């Protein structure tokens, strides 16, 4: 495993982060019609990742492991599983991030970025995670009803109390990120060290403004969905017929919106090019897609940490090998040309 600094902090994290938004599933559903998470396989994957050198784990209070849009009935499941895993290792060997913002209860203050909600949810997250502190606390998405300064002051208090070590921001537009950072500077409050956003080979909105923001303020970028929810693995492509195919219990199989998002002729052209490069190098498409992000990190001179999601143990081994794949400048140009 290779390690990188978390932006301009002194902490070092593995080049890959293990995410827990989507976890291994059982074929059976609960009373609400939601697939159950396979606890035993999930814990096995966490331990394998840890043994292979991954020291960076990411979760969120709203994550369940099988749901895209969570509800108060199913929230907290991923944190509880991570907490169970943490109880089996030395807590200090792990860098742990979780998030706050989502709907955790049906009442009016059951969601958001107000001081009340943040102070409540850090306590609940720490209980579920079975730990005294979170390394990185990330605001999950915007809350237009709460003043940014209120959110920042509450987060700053958590750092001063020792419940949180570093702060992060996710799924905010660039202007919001800048406003938060400028407010932090003006009022002498703890600044965000991490931007966590959707970032993969075919979804590059982060590159428009946020890479420059990260570079200016010494932030790391946690790139979630580095494989575009499995799309960039090639598992949805019949390479002989050059058409799409869908596996049962896959993310795209479960969420129709992903088909509309990814199943385009232009994306098929990109996948076919990645397949050619992968075959030439004797590696998988997944490894090419992850290696592409790591190469972008070198090109931009900004720490970019892919947050991998693993639903099967064999997928973890495949993803881990991506750090040994070397993409040349010619490879990067060839991939870029596939978009034209």
3, 32, 35, 63: which one is catalytic? 63
Q: Is 84 exposed, middle or buried (0-12, 13-18, 19+ CB in 10 A)?
A: middle
The percentage of the chain sitting over the pLDDT mark of 70, rounded to a whole number, equals: 99
> Pseudo-torsion of CA 27, 40, 15, 277, nearest 10°?
-40
Which residue from 228, 229, 196 is spatially nearest to 210, judged by alpha carbons? 196
Report pTM: 0.96
Quick one: angle between helices 285-300 and 329-337, nearest 10?
A: 110
pLDDT for 226 beyond 90: yes
Condensed to tens digits (0 to 9), the pLDDT of residues 313-338 reads: 999 999 999 999 999 999 999 999 99
Condensed to tens digits (0 to 9), the pLDDT of residues 175-205 reads: 999 999 999 999 999 999 999 999 999 999 9
β-bridge partners, 203 = 200
pLDDT for 248 beyond 70: no
- Sketch out the chain's domains with CATH numbers: 3-229+294-312 (3.20.20.100)
DSSP result, 37-56: E-HHHHHHHHHHHHHTT--E
CA-CA distance, 99 to 144, in Å (whole number)? 17
- The whole-number pLDDT of residue 254 equals 72
- The whole-number pLDDT of residue 247 equals 72
CA-CA distance, 160 to 156, in Å (whole number)? 6
Condensed to tens digits (0 to 9), the pLDDT of residues 253-302 reads: 677 788 889 889 999 999 999 999 999 999 999 999 999 999 999 999 99
Catalytic-residue membership of 63? yes
- The whole-number pLDDT of residue 246 equals 82
Whether the CB-CB separation of 96 and 87 falls below 8 Å is answered with no
DSSP result, 58-92: E--TT--BS-SS--TTTTTHHHHHHHHHHTTS-GG
Condensed to tens digits (0 to 9), the pLDDT of residues 160-170 reads: 999 999 999 99
Q: Please report which confidence band the pLDDT of residue 252 belongs to, taking 50, 70 and 90 as the band edges.
A: confident
The percentage of the chain sitting over the pLDDT mark of 90, rounded to a whole number, equals: 89
């Amino acid at each position: 495993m290779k390690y990188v600094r978390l932006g301009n902090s002194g902490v070092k994290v593995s080049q890959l982060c293990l995410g827990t938004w989507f976890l291994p599933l059982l074929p059976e559903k609960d009373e609400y019609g939601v697939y159950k998470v396979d606890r035993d396989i999930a814990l096995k994957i966490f331990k394998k990742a840890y043994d292979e050198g991954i020291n960076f784990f990411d979760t969120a209070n709203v994550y369940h492991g099988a749901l895209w849009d969570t509800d108060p009935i199913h929230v907290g499941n991923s944190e509880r599983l991570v907490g169970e895993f943490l109880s089996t290792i030395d807590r200090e060997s792990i860098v742990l991030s979780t998030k706050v913002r989502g709907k955790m209860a049906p009442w009016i203050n059951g969601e958001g970025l107000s001081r009340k909600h943040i102070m409540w949810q850090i306590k609940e997250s720490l209980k579920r995670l079975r730990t005294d502190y979170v390394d990185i606390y990330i605001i999950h998405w915007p809350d237009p009803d709460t003043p940014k300064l209120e959110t920042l002051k509450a987060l700053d208090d958590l750092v001063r109390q020792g419940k949180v070590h570093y702060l992060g921001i996710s799924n905010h537009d660039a202007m919001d990120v800048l406003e938060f950072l400028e407010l932090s500077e003006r009022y002498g409050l703890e600044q965000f060290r991490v931007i966590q956003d959707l970032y993969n080979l075919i979804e590059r909105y982060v590159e428009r403004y946020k890479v420059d923001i990260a570079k200016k303020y010494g932030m790391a970028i946690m790139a979630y969905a580095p494989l575009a929810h499995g799309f960039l693995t090639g598992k949805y492509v019949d390479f002989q017929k050059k058409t799409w195919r869908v596996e049962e219990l896959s993310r795209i199989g479960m969420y129709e919106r992903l088909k509309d998002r990814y199943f385009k002729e232009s994306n098929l052209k990109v996948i076919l090019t990645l397949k050619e490069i992968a075959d030439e190098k004797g590696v998988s498409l997944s490894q090419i897609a992850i290696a592409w992000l790591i190469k972008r990190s070198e090109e931009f001179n900004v720490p970019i940490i892919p947050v991998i999601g693993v639903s099967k143990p064999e997928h973890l081994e495949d993803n881990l090998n991506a750090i040994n794949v070397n993409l040349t400048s010619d490879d990067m140009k060839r991939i870029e040309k596939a978009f034209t």
